[in-house]
């Protein structure tokens, strides 16, 4: 895997926190959405859409230190298009989501899980993002957030009529002039067979 895109150096942080503003490059968004092909965390197949991304997004966060943990609050903004579920025209998706996470050193998460079995939920279930060494890497969080924003059935508009019947079916009774030129060879074949 290449270098991470959204990295916060932990040693620079204090309890008061620091503001970070990362551009989310269009190419990165495109790659993240395309890479979503595979299985989700419950083993269900995810089919990657073919995204069109024209603009960079922006990740705006404030990160602060709380003991060994890092608290991150902010927002993610991005836009992309994926094929409409009914007509395949571009369906616009606007992402404007709050980001809020608690990051703990990976060792601490593992330790608390094995030692405290009587806890009602583990840290992992409470949505703690692991912190590796001296850096807080937000790539996975941003990627997950983008993928989550893809609707089950993306629509170009609420009242999308879906794919209209091919032009030949609509016009065959009124004449052959309106036939899609690409279908003309087929039509002449049909006429020849009749004759």
The residues binding Zn ion (CB under 5 A) are: 84, 86-87, 89, 156, 160
Q: Which is nearer to Zn ion, 85 or 105 (CB)?
A: 85
Going by C-alpha positions, the residue among 144, 147, 151, 149 that lies closest to residue 127 is 144
Residues in the chain: 195
Minimum Å distance from CB 2 to Zn ion? 35
Q: Which is nearer to Zn ion, 53 or 156 (CB)?
A: 156
Structure tokens at 122: 């583990």
Minimum Å distance from CB 163 to Zn ion? 8
Q: Which residues of 112-136 are buried (b: 16+ CB within 10 A; e: fewer)?
A: eeeeeeeeeeebeeeebbbbeeeeb
Q: Are 122 and 111 in contact (CB under 8 A)?
A: no
Distance CA 24, CA 75 (A): 12
Q: Which is nearer to Zn ion, 86 or 110 (CB)?
A: 86
End-to-end Cα distance, the chain: 64
Minimum Å distance from CB 54 to Zn ion? 19
Minimum Å distance from CB 51 to Zn ion? 16
Q: Which is nearer to Zn ion, 4 or 89 (CB)?
A: 89
DSSP 8-state assignment for residue 160: -
Minimum Å distance from CB 154 to Zn ion? 9
Q: Which is nearer to Zn ion, 53 or 84 (CB)?
A: 84
Neighbours of 153 (CB within 10 A): 9
């Amino acid at each position: 895997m290449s270098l991470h895109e959204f990295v916060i150096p932990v040693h620079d942080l204090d309890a008061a926190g620091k503001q970070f503003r990362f551009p989310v490059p269009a190419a990165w968004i495109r790659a993240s959405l395309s890479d979503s092909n595979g299985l989700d965390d419950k083993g269900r197949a995810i089919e990657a859409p073919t995204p069109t991304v024209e603009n960079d997004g922006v990740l705006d966060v404030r990160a602060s230190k709380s003991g060994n943990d890092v608290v991150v609050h902010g927002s993610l903004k991005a836009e992309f298009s994926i094929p409409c579920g009914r007509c395949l025209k571009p369906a616009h998706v606007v992402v404007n989501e709050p980001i809020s996470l608690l990051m703990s050193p990976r060792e601490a998460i593992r330790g608390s899980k094995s030692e405290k079995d009587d806890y009602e939920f583990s840290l992992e279930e409470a949505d703690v993002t692991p912190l590796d060494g001296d850096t807080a890497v937000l790539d996975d969080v941003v990627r997950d957030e983008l993928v989550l924003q893809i609707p089950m059935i993306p629509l170009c508009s609420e009242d999308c009529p879906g794919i209209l019947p091919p032009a030949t079916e609509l016009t065959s009774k009124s004449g052959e002039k309106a036939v899609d030129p690409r279908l003309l060879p087929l039509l002449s074949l049909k006429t020849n067979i009749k004759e």
